[in-house]
Structure 1
Amino acid sequence: MGPYLAVITALASMPFTFFMSNDAFYFGVLPILSEAAGNYGITPVEMARASLVGQPVHLLSPLVPSTYLLVGLAKVEFADHQKFTLKWAIAISLLLMVGSLLFALYPLAA
């Protein structure tokens, strides 16, 4: 499982950044994952790139104040916004992951 830590981090960044703040993920979880990935030849820069894949999903989190402003100005319920947008955010995240792998921004397997 170690050689696939970059892809695992990319996939895990979607739910992790949704349920916890960016600071907790990037300063708490990512350094531990990067240290473990270093043992398999994956650089910290590659892990950082992989961790950014979940950002489209993070913006639907209740922890993001600008989303409340958006739905307030648009007169849309927050839950309705999440229900509609979540599938598209996941699709964009997966597309980002595939594109990153195609451009070799991080390895599929080390």
Structure 2
Amino acid sequence: MTPALLLSVVETPPPTFDKLESIKLLESHGWTKADAMCSLEVIDFSANPDEITIRRAISPFAGSELTKRQRLQVAQKGLVTRKTREIELKDKYRPEIFYNMFP
């Protein structure tokens, strides 16, 4: 082979990702920031991982596990919202009840 042909065969290295870019990558695929950060804890970013390395590392967190965690988060948020509304209603009507008891 001639040197010109050898240069065309040499591949460029795959792009590497830092933690912020990895989080953005996962968010673009429907992950929440919290889930992305949790799944990326197992990756050593000082080794400059590429996209394939990142996807392999997060695979245990993906699929049905991700959906399950996201549904649990939504349910927990709903419970917090419900309790907050109950407290607000109690605080709103508590003075009226108290003053009506002692005219």
Q: TM-score higher than 0.5 here?
A: no
Kindly name which structure, 1 or 2, has the bigger radius of gyration based on alpha carbons: 2
User: TM-score, structure 2 length as denominator?
Assistant: 0.28
Structure with the larger RCO, 1 or 2 (CA within 8 Å, 6+ apart): 1
User: TM-score, structure 1 length as denominator?
Assistant: 0.27
